Structure 1
């Protein structure tokens, strides 16, 4: 079995190297925008070929000198990524490609050939990589990389990306592993929520604290208020001041730190679950619909808009979709399986008797109005998710609204 993974490492750049990477990042973004304008010019009747697009890129690198600062292979990778974006759109997986904003988009430069990187480990915490037109750059060695040193596998390429904390390198690696044997672990149902991030049907709930420490959260609030004051002082259509830009950068740095801590917790938690359980049952959630704004329209304004806005922020902060993606590939590597089931009624149905009544749930407490069973609402939902897969107390009925005859349940064999 061939396993492809990405390993992110933080680069340690000099001032000259950081400036050179910034130039390449802006050139890659400009190349994307020029390609998109050239590709969409003339409407749907014009269908250029891949060969014509390649010739257009080569000519643009000759006509515009600063586009030549981007390595030729990186420019070809921009074309490949752009074509992949259109393919994803035609197959219904994503929106059509758009122009990349200088402010909102993240700068990225591809190094498609792994042989050009010459990745080596220098010491316990320091490694080095060779970047085209930048030179030898050191990075923080925070873990082994397949294909480097004594590690089996190979580095097939890399992607240089930036965020509020600086430039990073993402190594693309390939590694041959034996096909996994079926995981002998038990089955578990997982309910993703806000009060309990991951509630497991066996009671082994996975929780976390705030992503920011108290002093960091206090500083973030102070910076957000400062940015609001500076923005109010700015006249309409006036250019953003350097001070306001600096405040925005400080806010982005704190949020990026919280994002990294969330990602670290998700990786560690999903690895622990994948090691322990052979089958994980989750509910199919339409997250895009769940975080939809309740503002409404002018003719029909929404209700509890501020409360719904706060709930949406908390749900986005949990990143439940990424948790499922991490679980899916980690379970597959270990011989486990992820099974999604419909989510309708899991939070309103009693896992003991199967009676469904919205009045049974009150906040985080679930008290069945039929059999009187009392428990945590998230644990009850996790048990119902496991039941829906036929692995716990299996329903023998279709969920019915309140007032219909209650059904019976049986134990799975």
Structure 2
């Protein structure tokens, strides 16, 4: 067998938390603000310039001149400035191809702070401890990060297995570094495991057709049919979050219209963001572990083709035709958004391919109303949110409603009603000759 054909090149990312001093945090913050401001200046320059003078070389010359004349732009490394230019041009290419909207200005509040390090050789990553590693950040120096994954550094690094770059990203929990890693791995053998159908829910996160359901491990104390929006926080954290939200509400009511947000109110909001970020990290960790176990065990994974954007629409309605059960629908929408089904599908897509399996989609309508035992759809079989009792006179099967839907999902795949395999995301392009609002 040819060795080159038996191997494939993979690109993946790994995110680790940085440990920075106050001085280093200030320097990285300055670089992130400079990168955002450079994007805005580049966007203003691009939109005001005549079309015949717009080019990559002209933009590069303008950036070099701006960094030499403006001191607060010079804090951004030259490679990071070039990365901003490359990202901006890629945004326009995505717009011209119909994959994204027209690039706009980045606001200071709503934009995530980030700095790109495009050259992997500038990082000089080393492992100094079982739990810690060191990396070099341009114009910052050597910094420590949490070592939670083996990276190709030192003698293990070569032309095919190496760190190609990184990005510094800031969230409510502080600064993190996201490495871009390239590796050469052997192609996986075809998976020989069983097939499984999966139904995503709120009370039961992932129901599997073989009964091996995946729970959060954090049971809700609310009645049946209601989801706990803070299930990833313990009781102490929930009480703290409730107190912070009440405190923020009181201080917001005392603030007059037009006044700036006080320092105390901003600090309260920061504490709320930290608790929300902690819950998100726990949810992502559970999703990674669960999807990895599913990809290792099953050869074919079948899921529903869900339109989540339509599922989380508000039921408020209009003034002429107001909606019903608006508060209940709002709680359900929050629970659906918190489960992040789209992120679970994305993880399953690349993990099944990595382990030699496949991922397929089937139409969602009717999977929750059809009886998986007799195959009939009888009105009134769905009793409540979590129980299914078949009303057909010759059947009478009863069980978990999500498990019944998972069995129907697998049945649709086995009967040849699967959609196009979800190996990759299709790109929707504009028809030929149709240009966006802002042409080249």
Structure 2 residue 302 is the aligned partner of structure 1 residue 281: yes
User: What is the TM-score when the length of structure 2 is the normalising length?
Assistant: 0.85
- Out of 2, 15, 29, the residue aligned to residue 8 of structure 1 is 15
Q: Which residue of 2 aligns with 1:336?
A: 357
Cα deviation, residue 92, structure 1? 3.6
| Cα distance in 1, alignment partners of residues 297 and 129 from structure 2 | 34
Cα distance per residue 1:190-221 (max 9 Å; x no partner): 00110111000001000101211110011001
| Cα distance in 2, alignment partners of residues 203 and 292 from structure 1 | 31
Q: Is the 8 A contact 1:144 1:151 kept in 2?
A: no
User: What is the TM-score when the length of structure 1 is the normalising length?
Assistant: 0.91
- Out of 124, 127, 142, the residue aligned to residue 130 of structure 2 is 124
Q: Which residue of 1 aligns with 2:335?
A: 314
- Out of 188, 193, 204, the residue aligned to residue 180 of structure 1 is 188
Cα distance per residue 1:22-79 (max 9 Å; x no partner): 0001011111122222223379x67822222222322322332211111111111112
Cα deviation, residue 134, structure 1? 0.4
Number of residues paired by the alignment? Answer: 392
Q: Which residue of 1 aligns with 2:197?
A: 189
Cα distance per residue 1:336-368 (max 9 Å; x no partner): 011111111111111122222452212211112
Q: 1:261-276 maps to which residues of 2 (within 5 A)?
A: 261-276=282-297
Q: Which residue of 2 aligns with 1:75?
A: 81
Moved more, 59-68 or 175-184: 59-68
Q: Which residue of 2 aligns with 1:356?
A: 377
Q: Which residue of 1 aligns with 2:36?
A: 29
Q: Which residue of 1 aligns with 2:237?
A: 216
- Out of 382, 392, 397, the residue aligned to residue 406 of structure 2 is 382
Cα distance per residue 1:76-107 (max 9 Å; x no partner): 11121122223333334333322222112110
- Relative to 1, partners in 2 of residues 1:269 and 1:148: Cα closer, same or farther, differing over 3 Å? farther
- Relative to 1, partners in 2 of residues 1:306 and 1:336: Cα closer, same or farther, differing over 3 Å? same
Q: Is the 8 A contact 2:126 2:153 kept in 1?
A: no
| Cα distance in 1, alignment partners of residues 322 and 96 from structure 2 | 35
Q: Which residue of 2 aligns with 1:236?
A: 257
Cα deviation, residue 151, structure 1? 6.8
Cα distance per residue 1:210-251 (max 9 Å; x no partner): 211110011001101110100000000100000000000000
SS at match of 2:380: helix
| Cα distance in 2, alignment partners of residues 10 and 349 from structure 1 | 47
Instruction: Select the structure with the greater relative contact order (CA < 8 A; seq sep ≥ 6).
Output: 2
SS at match of 1:302: coil
Structure 1 residue runs of 5 or longer lacking an equivalent are: 396-413
| Cα distance in 2, alignment partners of residues 367 and 223 from structure 1 | 44
Moved more, 378-387 or 28-37: 28-37
Cα deviation, residue 299, structure 1? 3.1
Cα distance per residue 1:373-406 (max 9 Å; x no partner): 2111100110111111116xx88xxxxxxxxxxx
Q: Is the 8 A contact 2:379 2:391 kept in 1?
A: no
Structure 2 residue 391 is the aligned partner of structure 1 residue 369: yes
Q: Which residue of 2 aligns with 1:403?
A: none
| Cα distance in 2, alignment partners of residues 41 and 348 from structure 1 | 57
- Relative to 1, partners in 2 of residues 1:361 and 1:148: Cα closer, same or farther, differing over 3 Å? farther
- Relative to 1, partners in 2 of residues 1:116 and 1:285: Cα closer, same or farther, differing over 3 Å? same
- Out of 29, 43, 48, the residue aligned to residue 41 of structure 1 is 48
